[in-house]
Structure 1
Amino acid sequence: MRPRYIRGRLTLWYAGIFGIVLAIYICGACGLQYWQLNDQLHHAEIEDLETVEGLLYFTPDGRLHLREDYHSHPQSRLLLDRYMEVLSPQGDVLLRNERLGAMSLGGAIAQQEGNVGYAPRRWRLEDGTPVLAISHIHILDGKPLLIRLAYSTEPLRTRLLEFLGLLILAMPIALIAAAFAGYRVAGKALNPLEEMARRTEQITARRLNERIVVENPDDEFGHMARVLNGLLARLGESFEKLQHFTSDVSHELRTPLASIRSVGEVGLQEEHSAERYRDIIGSMLEEVARLTGMIDTLLTIAQADSGEVDLHRTTFVFAELVQESVTVVSVLAEDKKQNILVTGESELEISADRGFLRMAVINLLDNAVKYSPPESTIRVTLRDHKDTEGTAESVAVAIEDEGPGIPEDKRERVFDRFYRVDEGRTRDVGGAGLGLAIAKWAVEAHGGTITLKPRAPRGAIFSVEIPVR
């Protein structure tokens, strides 16, 4: 069953990995021990075989014997455990020691056996005893003899099993100690995470200005703390913008609703003629239309923020869209006796959502008409941007007005929703402060840019650049 907490899972992983490493170590240690014991046994056989070569002799009747008087030396009594066999080149058995008895030590003579070195080989005797044997050719009294000498490997197996048993007995103790140490280390390592979680739980919507303490900015927990602090900063900024947005929306909606209510209440206080009632209803419908337009704009902005607006791109000439937008706004300009002058030419086609891009250009032209004085000129300039090879990259339009201009310290906020440069301006100008916000979103949704620059001696220049592709 999977542990609930990370500390428990880390402890199990640590103990498991340690157990695997320990098992590999035990196998390696046992293998090394077995190799060393075999190597020691092999060297002991070589020394014993050299000793045997000096103890062999032929009797006068031609029989081969081994002197036994060396047994008086205590260090030589281990040689009694050997298995020995001496053969003639034809394979006849000349001598077998008492321990070997009638059993064969290696069977028939192999080709080149005993000619080169003391190569070890494993053999199992007829009684099942496993042995490590070596062979060597020895010349005695001018006669070649093949001496085979072997020792049982059972003692090696016994010592190896004893060594393995000791290591296995120690393994549970080592695993328990490793698990305990892993639990403590995991707990200490996760303490900063628990502190961050505790600190984060205390941060509410009213305390978004608080931040998580970064103890070590260079480690993983420091990186996580910085990420969480960045998230809190963005949430705080978004929450503050949402509060301002809600306040601005409430203010903007309250004004037309209050106007509708005031006009309705005044209309109900006295009897009026049919003509007067039509004027009252007309005034109320104007406010309703203004309110409906504002709500539609807010819905468009909300959908844009949530990413639910899909751009339906088509290919069209951008200059035609600008000319179409000028035609729409020219009706408003005629009321103020303004002149909209279009200069520059562009035949470039772009792939864009015609409706949203048209809305952006109309909003910019409408803004220029509203804030320019009567009988002034609004200039619309078209131009193309091409790279060094002459390939079209983007198309741009600049809209210049002769209005009061925008102070430098307020230019960055003119694209904010419901923002007005002069809060004291009357409602005769109209609008809800959403036109430039919509224009900015529409342009940036197409990968373009919108900028604001001052115009000399007065006025402002809004420039829009849209990539061809």
Structure 2
Amino acid sequence: MISTRAPSLTLRLTLLFALASAFVLFLLGLLIGNAVERHFEEQDLEVLSGKMQLVKHILERYPPPPPKETLTQQFDDALTGHHGLIVTVYGANGEILYANESLVFPLDLLSKSMLPGQARPVKWSSTDGHPRRGISSVVKFGADSGGRYTVAISTEIDHHENFMTSFRQTLWGFMGLATLAMGVLGWFAVRRGLLPLQAIKHQAAEITANRLDTRLPVESIPVELADLADTLNGMLSRLEESFQRLSDFSSDLAHELRTPVSNLLTQTQVTLSKARSADDYRDILASNAEEFERLSRTISDMLFLAKADNKQIMPNQEPIDLAEEIGDLLEYYDVLAEEKSIALSLSGSGQVIGDRLMLRRAVSNLLSNALRHTPNGGAVTVKINETDGGMTHIAVENTGSEIPAEHLPRLFDRFYRVDSSRLRTTESSGLGLAITRSIVLAHGGGVDVCSGNGLTCFTLLLPKSAITA
């Protein structure tokens, strides 16, 4: 499969910067072009309006019908020196009363003569191809209500159009070059602005499995990237912690498996060193069976935890009377407690929905752990308490030496022991508390532990209602 990489951030930011600059320059060009065009239009309108007033003044001096020869002479005198200016007077029936030059005015210009307060002149191209701009107006002859006639005046705007064509070419050419220059400058600006990301990249590339304690220097990173650096540092902290736990777990697992395997290998080699009686072989096989049972328990526990990590534990949903179940467990451990003169007691009651066998195993692990660490003559107490928040607490409390506070957060880790130098025994594989936590989490609950004032208390928090998938 061919993978396509997304365009670089530098390229995307440069293109966005160039497009934004081009858009702003385009709007600016339109504004300037329209402003210059409007300026020329206002100039032409001023000239045309002045001539219109002059023509009106001449016409209003004569009663209808006006003397054509006199009007022609006065109009010619008034238009002397105004090259390109054409005046045409139309009668009521559309006949031409006066025209200094022959010109066909567009109908939309003549029709505007009926509109009061004409605001803008009309622009068109004459038959000879020259651009023109003109206005029209209705004029009445004489001071009183005489005949009404239409006056149309236009002027050539060749010089204006030539200037605007040259101006637009220069303006758009400059804007094109300006857009290109802004794109280049934007590229340099983006490259320089993204240098901190390159620094983060190089620093992150130096982090390996042996250097997970390295952190990115947040104080030397721009404020916009500080949150990213903090997030990466948090990720590195979690990776370092997880990697350390995995390393410790691998080491402990190897140690746990090495001891029984070493015992089996040694006993087998010694047995094969010389011939022995049937009773000797029977004793050696019995001893080997104990080691195999220890290996089997460890492997079974590891498989259970692996399923828990992959969310493959599906607890049954059935009502469980906790007082009854825990009471049965206390009866089971009563013999062991009597050997060490440990007092077992149960108080409270409660009911939850869950898997009976799993919860028995979780509580059993806590009881076994408590009895193992309670000195002779001590006490182990189980308390059941239902809260108003829909949770049931199962607290297993034992007397004895306290657990240092720095060990409490890791007590539920696999193979973790407070005293790392203590020899492993066949009574415990170091997975009991980890399995307990996995079972409780599968039921939607949680675990807690505290130690102080000569008491150590493990608490299971279980929801009273059934969990949903």
1:282 is displaced (CA, Å) by 1.3
- Secondary structure, aligned partner of 1:318: strand
Name the counterpart of 1:363: 365
1:417 is displaced (CA, Å) by 2.5
Q: Superposition pairs for residues 56-455 of structure 1, below 5 Å?
A: 62-63=67-68, 64-65=71-72, 66-70=74-78, 77=81, 79-100=82-103, 103-104=104-105, 106=107, 110=111, 113=114, 116-120=116-120, 122=122, 124=124, 127=127, 131-142=132-143, 143=146, 144-152=148-156, 154-215=158-219, 219-305=223-309, 308-320=310-322, 323-324=324-325, 327=328, 330-337=331-338, 340-346=344-350, 348-350=351-353, 352-373=354-375, 378-386=380-388, 393-423=390-420, 425=422, 427=424, 430-454=427-451
Partners of 2:420 and 2:181 in 1: CA distance = 73
Structure 1 letter corresponding to 2:203: R
CA contact (8 A) 1:385 1:395 kept: yes
Per-residue CA deviations over 1:52-104 (Å, capped at 9, x if unaligned) read: 334556599821323444567xxxx3x3312222233454432122253xx35
**Unmatched runs of 5 consecutive residues or more in structure 1:** 388-392
Structure 1 letter corresponding to 2:463: P
1:364 is displaced (CA, Å) by 0.9
Per-residue CA deviations over 1:7-61 (Å, capped at 9, x if unaligned) read: 3443334334433433333333323333333233223211221233345565998
- Secondary structure, aligned partner of 1:132: strand
Partners of 1:408 and 1:184 in 2: CA distance = 55
CA contact (8 A) 2:373 2:400 kept: yes
Judge which range, 48-57 or 248-257, deviates more.
Answer: 48-57
Judged with a 3 Å threshold, the aligned counterparts in structure 2 of structure 1 residues 330 and 427 are, in CA distance, closer, same or farther, namely farther
Per-residue CA deviations over 1:218-257 (Å, capped at 9, x if unaligned) read: 6332222222222222222222222222222222222222
- Secondary structure, aligned partner of 2:412: coil
Judged with a 3 Å threshold, the aligned counterparts in structure 2 of structure 1 residues 185 and 408 are, in CA distance, closer, same or farther, namely closer
Name the counterpart of 1:390: none
CA contact (8 A) 1:325 1:361 kept: yes
Judged with a 3 Å threshold, the aligned counterparts in structure 2 of structure 1 residues 126 and 286 are, in CA distance, closer, same or farther, namely same
Partners of 1:353 and 1:407 in 2: CA distance = 33
1:424 is displaced (CA, Å) by 5.6
Name the counterpart of 2:56: 53
Judged with a 3 Å threshold, the aligned counterparts in structure 2 of structure 1 residues 153 and 302 are, in CA distance, closer, same or farther, namely farther
> May I ask how many residue pairs the two structures share in their alignment?
450
Return the TM-score normalized by structure 2: 0.83
Partners of 1:26 and 1:71 in 2: CA distance = 37
Judge which range, 220-229 or 132-141, deviates more.
Answer: 132-141
Partners of 1:184 and 1:442 in 2: CA distance = 58
Return the TM-score normalized by structure 1: 0.83
- Secondary structure, aligned partner of 2:214: coil
CA contact (8 A) 2:88 2:151 kept: yes
- Secondary structure, aligned partner of 1:464: strand
Q: Which protein, 1 or 2, shows the higher relative CO under an 8 Å CA cutoff with sep ≥ 6?
A: 2
Judge which range, 182-191 or 378-387, deviates more.
Answer: 378-387
Per-residue CA deviations over 1:159-196 (Å, capped at 9, x if unaligned) read: 32222111232234223322321221121012111111
Partners of 2:132 and 2:214 in 1: CA distance = 78
Partners of 1:117 and 1:189 in 2: CA distance = 58
Partners of 1:111 and 1:183 in 2: CA distance = 54
Partners of 1:316 and 1:210 in 2: CA distance = 49
- Secondary structure, aligned partner of 2:213: coil
CA contact (8 A) 2:113 2:138 kept: no
Partners of 2:108 and 2:176 in 1: CA distance = 47
Judged with a 3 Å threshold, the aligned counterparts in structure 2 of structure 1 residues 213 and 38 are, in CA distance, closer, same or farther, namely same
Structure 2 letter corresponding to 1:118: Q
Partners of 1:201 and 1:327 in 2: CA distance = 58
Partners of 1:244 and 1:2 in 2: CA distance = 39
Structure 2 letter corresponding to 1:204: T
CA contact (8 A) 1:340 1:378 kept: yes
Indicate yes or no: 2:37 matched with 1:43: no
1:343 is displaced (CA, Å) by 3.0
1:466 is displaced (CA, Å) by 0.8
- Secondary structure, aligned partner of 1:188: helix
CA contact (8 A) 1:419 1:433 kept: yes
Per-residue CA deviations over 1:389-413 (Å, capped at 9, x if unaligned) read: xxxx112212233444434454333
Judge which range, 323-332 or 203-212, deviates more.
Answer: 323-332
2:457 to 440, 461, 467: 461
- Secondary structure, aligned partner of 1:386: coil
- Secondary structure, aligned partner of 1:272: coil
- Secondary structure, aligned partner of 2:317: strand
Structure 2 letter corresponding to 1:62: P
Identity of aligned residues (%): 28
Structure 1 letter corresponding to 2:67: G
- Secondary structure, aligned partner of 2:114: coil
